[in-house]
């Protein structure tokens, strides 16, 4: 059994959402599974790298908006939310994901999928317990599991550990993939990641 | 006749060099020519965007080094210079290129090609008039043209105009391509640019 592909993302990242729509299918074609892992751009990019958010960076913000629009046209997709709008608070969702990954890992991916879809396809704010509970239940996560995750104060520490693991692995953006120690950053690198898996590296 | 592809780059950029090895052939396959244009990362990235140089950015510097190494292995290439070393002063070469583009455009590409190859394939510092003259002559640029370009004080203003044109077009990194108004950033986006040209956009 080959090790899973680490898929790091922040729920506030439209590029992370777009990658989330493809990574499982891509990995499966190569006999791989995917480990969906939360990081926080507010820690990696803003604090550790010392950079401003992309939308507020001159030239880069406009370029990212054009990249998103071009990607959506290429793949026949639409967003239910303006990627230039102020981001939601990702902490509650990221903490719940970190908790599920540690305590009920079979529910981690469905919950993350539900948050991404509700937020980016339907434009729902996913920054409080009520919205997370509602969407997780709709995605089939048992109520007892959701409630335990939302109530457990260790979730914050589990998320901090995830963010530290991302940094230790060299992951900083969203999406950021690591396969067998090799880093791939950005949705535009999925084709390269695909080639890497097909060739077994180079 | 379709308009040329704008190829913006900084001579200090290893990614710009790697793109320079492929862009003419790629463009020609689609009936396009390439306009080789100098920009300065010290202006676009450092001053306009307010960001630190990539090699000094935590996490990103290490990632760029890995990207370069992986790209070199994928394409069977080697560099004659350590991309992590302190960059040369790109101003004399960039000024000469801006001057040639305005005054003797048929010699702009050969001169840029010569600078890139001398610097990145052979590790030669290309930051003074003697080195530029030597390599330009070897590349077939007439001595009278090289000397006129090196001596003309308007070259600095021509370079400033180029950098301002890059910023006005939304170009900030190296390499940065603009085709029919559409931006493509980075050597990893050459495949996407290729697809864009093949499909006539989307």
pLDDT, one tens digit per residue, over B80-118 is 999 999 999 999 999 999 999 999 999 999 999 999 999
For residue B103, give how far its alpha carbon lies from the nearest alpha carbon of chain A (Å): 30
Chain B hits for A172, CB-CB cut-off 8 Å, are: 59-60, 63
Chain A hits for B74, CB-CB cut-off 8 Å, are: 202
Judged by a CB distance cut-off of 8 A, whether residue B180 touches chain A is: no
Indicate whether A1 pLDDT > 80: no
Between chains, do A66 and B191 touch, taking CB under 8 Å as contact? no
**CA-wise closest residue to B108 among B201, B9, B196, B28:** B9
Residues 11-50, chain A: which have Cβ within 8 Å of B? Answer: 44, 48-50
pLDDT for the residue A48: 96
Q: Is B35 left (phi over 0), alpha (psi -120 to 50) or beta?
A: beta
pLDDT band for position B42 (cuts 50, 70, 90) = very high
Taken in order of first residue, the domains within chain A and their CATH numbers are: 5-199 (3.40.30.10)
Please provide residue B7's backbone torsions phi and psi, each rounded to the nearest 5 degrees: -115, 100
For residue A174, give how far its alpha carbon lies from the nearest alpha carbon of chain B (Å): 13
Tell me the pTM: 0.95
Cross-strand bridge partners of residue B34:
B5
Cβ-based neighbours of B42, under 8 Å, separated by 6 or more: B90
**Interatomic CA distance for residues A54 and A45, integer angstroms:** 9
**CA-wise closest residue to A197 among A186, A182, A187:** A182
Vertex B75: Cα angle to A74 and A75 (nearest 5): 5
Q: Which residue of A has its CA nearest to B54?
A: A49
**CA-wise closest residue to A172 among A16, A2, A14:** A16
pLDDT band for position A89 (cuts 50, 70, 90) = very high
CA dihedral B66, B71, B72, B76 (to 10 degrees): 150
Indicate whether B1 pLDDT > 90: no
**Interatomic CA distance for residues B91 and B43, integer angstroms:** 11
Strand ranges, E, within chain A: 5-9, 34-38, 176-179, 182-185
Report the first-to-last Cα separation within chain B, whole angstroms.
21
Report pLDDT digits (tens) over A60-85: 999 999 999 999 999 999 999 999 99
Chain B hits for A192, CB-CB cut-off 8 Å, are: 188
Chain B hits for A64, CB-CB cut-off 8 Å, are: none
Judged by a CB distance cut-off of 8 A, whether residue B133 touches chain A is: no
Indicate whether A46 pLDDT > 80: yes
For residue B60, give how far its alpha carbon lies from the nearest alpha carbon of chain A (Å): 8
Neighbours of A114 (CB within 10 A): 21
Judged by a CB distance cut-off of 8 A, whether residue B202 touches chain A is: yes
């Amino acid at each position: 059994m080959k090790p899973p592909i680490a898929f790091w993302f922040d729920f506030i990242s439209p590029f992370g959402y777009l990658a989330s729509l493809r990574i499982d299918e891509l990995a499966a074609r190569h006999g791989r599974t995917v480990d969906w892992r939360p990081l926080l751009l507010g820690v990696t990019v803003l604090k550790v790298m010392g950079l401003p958010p992309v939308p507020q960076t001159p030239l880069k913000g406009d370029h990212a908006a054009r990249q998103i629009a071009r990607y959506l046209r290429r793949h026949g997709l639409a967003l239910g939310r303006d990627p230039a709008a102020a981001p939601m608070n990702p902490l509650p969702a990221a903490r719940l994901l970190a908790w599920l990954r540690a305590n009920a890992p079979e529910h981690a991916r469905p919950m993350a999928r539900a948050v991404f879809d509700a937020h980016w396809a339907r434009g729902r704010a996913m920054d409080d317990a009520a919205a997370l509970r509602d969407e997780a239940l709709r995605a089939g996560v048992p109520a007892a599991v959701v409630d335990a995750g939302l109530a457990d104060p260790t979730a914050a520490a589990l998320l901090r550990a995830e963010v530290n693991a991302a940094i230790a692995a060299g992951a900083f953006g969203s999406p950021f993939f690591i396969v067998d120690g090799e880093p791939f950053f950005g949705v535009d690198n999925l084709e390269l990641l695909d080639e890497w898996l097909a060739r077994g590296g180079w």
